[in-house]
Amino acid sequence: MKLRFLAAVLAAGVSFSFGPASAAELEVTHWWTSGGEAAAVAELAKAFDATGNKWVDGAIAGSGGTARPIMVSRITGGDPMGATQFNHGRQAEELVQSGLMRDLTDIATKEGWKDIVKPSSLLDSCTIDGKIYCAPVNIHSWQWLWLSNAAFKTAGVDVPKNWDEFVAAAPALEKAGIVPLAVGGQPWQSAGAFDVLMVAIAGKDVFNKVFGDKDAETAAGPEITKVFKAADDARKMAKGSNVQDWNQATNLVITGKAGGQIMGDWAQGEFQLAGQKAGTDYTCLPGLGVNEIISTGGDAFYFPLLKDEEKSKAQEVLASTLLNPTTQVAFNLKKGSLPVRGDVDLAAANDCMKKGLEILAKGNVIQGTDQLLSADSQKQKEDLFSEFFANASMTPEDAQKRFVDIIASAD
Amino acid sequence: MTGQANAGRPNQLLRNLNSKIASIPMILTAVVIFFGGTLWTVFYSFTNSKLLPRLSFVGFDQYERLWAAPRWVISIQNLAVYGIFSLIFSLVIGFVLAALMDQKIRFENTFRTIFLYPFALSFIVTGLVWQWILNPEFGVQSVVRSLGWTSFSFDPLYNSDIVIYGILIAALWQGTGLVMCLMLAGLRGIDEDIWKAARVDGIPMWKTYLLIIIPMMRPVFITTLVIIASGIVRVYDLVVAQTSGGPGIASEVPAKYVYDYMFQAQNLGQGFAASTMMLITVAIIIVPWAYLEFGGRKRG
């Protein structure tokens, strides 16, 4: 009697695992959940659904730091999704090396990704041992300063044209009850802001030496000391921005409660969603108006190795849909990012995006820190800068010493 | 039952066979998952595993790096402060509430429900509620300021020096109700005659509690202590919901370090080293105590 019951329970358990197996449903996980991002990802879903397959949205709230662990543990735990977002570079490196990800080289050669993806460093970041493992979808650059024209009007000063003018305008902003620089409490934001200051103040070569070659000597040098001085200014200006998420910080700029924010071009989607116009309502300064250089990190989709043949076919369709010119334009306009192919028409782009495209065309680009550093080193950097920005008693000199240690042990 | 029918004489192995068979899954779970998992973690903490575990040993490197990391040191300090205060306050407040409740007051059921209610909420919800209450822009500070006291300032969650106390308040609000209930159950277990005898002898009430009742409630105190202590070591979700470790790294706790380094930094070795240190800390506290408590009694 008991045994029969047990058998029945077991049988029921087994039969549950045969879910409804519709041919071409692909679950796609990503962490695009803010207003502008959700609008952009809907474009991808629309394009994929049009091919006769079905996009099952697996959005994970709480930015990459929360989402990536969930994605990784699903892949390593044997419950892979159809496709997943990562920042291409080194985040998925080990997953690829242990053979959990799908090789996309065939599709890439068939569709000639090598010729259409610009800059080519994007595809290089997808390439491990000569094989291509991801489909880049956009270029995101960190090096932007977003300024609220209304805030500067209230304070009675001109909208700054570069970082130094911005620092000089800070006391006037404070007097008007406006926080000069909005920095959210999430650790990656302060770490990112430092990287941006480094490119703007110390320049491209120093940036590449420190993060590319992991040269501890340069990291200890006078150029980086200057960067830490600037970061010290930044943290003083950021005092009083009691928000956590990046889009809350952007919102402070949109509503004129903060003067500006150092944030990647994904912030643009938020300005757009709020109905603001570049140039009249807000101003953007690439490279903080000092050094017009942008990094070419970005988002890419990786495809876990699946056993189901029909789903594997759908993965191919999705990969080619993502790089389709029409999808690229629709997606990137909503997202505020730059397309990965140089041959698409972006006449509808706004002022800021056009500035970005121009810099891209000139070739003033660097690799993003996600491409250069391992997740481990990035995390240590985040710990350092979130402490530095929150703790006024930590001197720039101490911080630089710890920064040198991190670079020296970076891999 | 079949076991007993077949055996001619009582066989130690076959006695209560049904219950022995029934407990096999639990024993296996305990051995394989808890014990095996622990050993596996300690073992791999000596490797330089990154995203996936791999066997390349680096000796004590992970531990050296761990203790050199300012964030880990701050986490340990926070845990110590949080642990000591949370232990003292929840025991004291819990016991006092229970003693008051035991005075045959009216509406005891209502009060008991009110005090126990926060315990029904998860730490995440508790954390979010207290994040709002302690937020200077719409919480306590803004309420007091709107009453006319404009210089009033109370923003523990945004002040690095006292942020851990902001978390402590939320933890006490959530947890003391349970301690109170456990204590109340203990108090109800005390024989009425003891109270009567103490009254006849003319011992004041506070003295009766302190010198007679509390020593008699020793088992209840120990149960409560274990429950509170295990809650302290694994505190994680409360911090995530209230401050996510901020401002800066001022309210980080060890459990959060483990999670962040295992999954966000994709450095399993470092995360394992941190969790092994947590295990050692717990063992240092628990083992001598358990030895005194259980080992002593068996011999005596």
- In CATH, what number does A25-140+297-357 get? 3.40.190.10
A73 touches chain B (CB under 8 A): yes
Model confidence at A2: pLDDT above 70: no
In angstroms, the separation between the Cα of residue A169 and the nearest Cα of chain B is: 26
Q: Which of B264, B268, B270, B272 to mutate to test the interface with A (most CBs of A within 10 A)?
A: B264
pTM for the predicted model, two decimal places: 0.81
In terms of Cα–Cα distance, which of A36, A30, A85, A29 is closest to A247?
Answer: A36
Across the beta sheet with A299-302, the strand order is A54-59, A25-30, A83-87, A299-302, A134-136
* Residue ranges of domains in chain A: 25-140+297-357, 144-295+373-408
CA distances (Å), origin B295, targets A46, B217, B226:
68, 20, 17
In angstroms, the separation between the Cα of residue B118 and the nearest Cα of chain A is: 26
| Phi, psi values for residue B31, rounded to 5° | -70, -50
Cβ–Cβ gap B267/A379 under 8 Å = yes
- pLDDT tens digits along A240-259: 888 888 888 999 999 999 99
A63 touches chain B (CB under 8 A): no
Model confidence at B300: pLDDT above 50: no
Q: Which of B263, B268, B272 to mutate to test the interface with A (most CBs of A within 10 A)?
A: B263
In terms of Cα–Cα distance, which of B271, B281, B272 is closest to B233?
Answer: B281
DSSP A176-226: TT-EEE---SSHHHHHHHHHHHHHHHH-HHHHIIIIIS--HHHHTSHHHHH
pLDDT of residue B176: 92
Contact B263, A68 (CB under 8 A): yes
Q: How many CB pairs under 8 A join A and B?
A: 79
Which amino acid type is present at position A201? I
- pLDDT tens digits along B23-58: 999 999 888 988 999 999 999 999 988 888 888 899
Mean of the per-residue pLDDT values of chain B: 87
Which residues, in sequence order, are CB contacts of A114 under 8 Å at separation 6+? A108, A120, A123
**Chain B residues with beta carbon closer than 8 angstroms to that of A94:** 50-52, 266
Distance in angstroms (rounded) separating the CA atoms of residues A375 and B50: 10
B71 touches chain A (CB under 8 A): yes
pLDDT of residue A30: 93
**What residues of chain B, 222 to 261, have a C-beta less than 8 Å from chain A?**
244-250, 259-261
Cβ–Cβ gap B264/A387 under 8 Å = no
A378 touches chain B (CB under 8 A): yes
**What residues of chain B, 264 to 283, have a C-beta less than 8 Å from chain A?**
264-267, 270
Alpha helices in A238-324 (DSSP H): 246-254, 267-273, 309-322
The sign one gets for the Cα dihedral A96, A70, B240, B254 is negative
**Chain A residues with beta carbon closer than 8 angstroms to that of B245:** 187, 386
Q: Is A213 exposed, middle or buried (0-12, 13-18, 19+ CB in 10 A)?
A: exposed
Cβ–Cβ gap B249/A386 under 8 Å = yes
Q: What is the DSSP letter of A289?
A: G
In angstroms, the separation between the Cα of residue A101 and the nearest Cα of chain B is: 14
**Chain B residues with beta carbon closer than 8 angstroms to that of A179:** none
pLDDT of residue A1: 42
pLDDT of residue B9: 62
Contact B90, B179 (CB under 8 A): yes
Which CATH number fits the domain B62-299, given the four candidates 3.40.50.300, 1.10.3720.10, 1.10.150.120, 1.10.645.10?
Answer: 1.10.3720.10
Distance in angstroms (rounded) separating the CA atoms of residues B295 and B291: 5
Q: Per-residue pLDDT averaged across A78-106, rounded?
A: 88
Of A120-124, A363-367, B79-83, give the range with the top mean pLDDT.
B79-83
Q: Per-residue pLDDT averaged across B200-221, rounded?
A: 90
CATH architecture of A144-295+373-408: 3-Layer(aba) Sandwich (3.40)
Domains A25-140+297-357 and A144-295+373-408 share a fold: yes
Cβ–Cβ gap B244/A72 under 8 Å = no
In angstroms, the separation between the Cα of residue A215 and the nearest Cα of chain B is: 20
